[in-house]
Amino acid sequence: MRVEKKVISNLTKCYAIAPLTYQGEPHFLVAAEKVDKCLLFDADGNEKDVVWSEPGGVMTMVQVPDSDGQFLATHRFYSPNDSKEAKIVIATPIEKGNWEIRTLVDLPFVHRFDILVRNGVKYLIACALKSDHEYKEDWRFPGKVYAAVLPDDLSGFDEKHQLSLTVIKDNMLKNHGYYRTEENGVPCSIISSDNGVFLFTPPESAEGEWTIEELISDAASDAVLVDFDEDGERELAVLTPFHGDTIRFYKKKDGVFKLDYEFEEKREFLHSLYGGMLCGKPVLVTGHRKGQRDLMMFTYNKEKGAYEMECIDKDCGSANIYHYVKDGKDMLVSTNREIDEAALYTITE
């Protein structure tokens, strides 16, 4: 594996990343966890615009489907201990240097969210890390998962006219992990908490109910489904526990996920996660934010019947990762939060 690294920004406490199709071209967004900017880059990693300068507190950004550059984002989630004023906002491009920002919904402690489209209906699914707190590290109030049908026209929403949400699952302690996946062509959500890892499937119609399946009951910070050994059935890769130090791979046996492999090295504060294809192989890429702060890639060696790890970067403290392909080359964007660096990696064999 050959890695070429390009530092594209020194954004303070950079955290969130999202793809964005804008003016017919692929772009991506990078935004800060603390009070700092949201930046727009082209696919080569060139900065093209400043979407906002503050308030920051951005955990998640997701493009509104079928839009030209419109996206939703969390604002004011500065940490698990400072997120009572968190909300989801709508960002709409007007012209270069001018983006309209309006409130979609106030949602304290909202950490992850997504927009899933099934049978032409857009569903918003939003995950609150907790429900309340009264002091630092107060975890007495478990988080929840909310959902709503997202209208095609978002122009009517603002601070005084907000989207109504419905709780579809509660009692989700340390409700941290989110990853989009597909089951039989239907977009789904993998949501991880201290209570386990769950697969959420949107209803077939706007009047229907969400389906929720427990994949494992073990505590998890994040998880992803990938067929690492290429036997036709996906394995579950898990970072555990909340902001934890352990990487596990679960394999289905008799229809139930069972622990198959645990990485022998402990890596403090595991956080970033990508699961999918890279250089023609199914991989798990993850980074941790304390200790060595490495960005690592895991693959399954079929000849040895074992998982193997390679290091992509060292001492970077990756918070989130986004993968895309450009001109036939695999690209990874990493928000290396702990060194205030957004980096673009070109990965080749």
Which residues make Cβ contacts (< 8 Å) with residue 94, sequence separation at least 6?
100
Tokens of 342: 């957004």
Residues 91-126, buried b or exposed e (16+ Cβ, 10 A)?
bbbeeeeebeeebbbebbbbbbbbbbebeebbbbbb
Residue 70 in this model has a pLDDT that exceeds 90: yes
What is residue 39's predicted lDDT score, i.e. its pLDDT? 98
Return phi, psi of residue 338, to 5°: -75, -15
> For residue 207, how many other CB atoms are within 10 A of its CB?
8
pLDDT at 349: 87
pLDDT value at residue 245: 98
C-alpha dihedral over 192, 196, 197, 200, to 10 degrees? Answer: -90
Is the predicted pLDDT of residue 94 greater than 90, yes or no? yes
CA–CA distance, 83 with 132 (Å, rounded to integer):
9
Query: Considering the chain, what percentage of its residues have pLDDT values greater than 90?
Result: 99
Can you give the pLDDT at residue 148? Answer: 98
pLDDT in tens, 226-245: 999 999 999 999 999 999 99
Distances (CA, A) of 10 to 59, 289, 341, 347: 18, 17, 4, 21
* Mean pLDDT of the region 325-338: 97
Residue type (1 letter), 178: Y
Distance from C-alpha of 255 to C-alpha of 47, rounded to nearest angstrom: 47
Strand partners, 127: 112, 145
The dihedral over CA atoms of 211, 128, 35, 66, expressed in degrees to the nearest 10, equals: 20
Average pLDDT value for residue range 290-312: 97
What's the mean pLDDT when you consider all of the chain?
97
Give dist(CA 244, CA 16) in Å, integer: 19
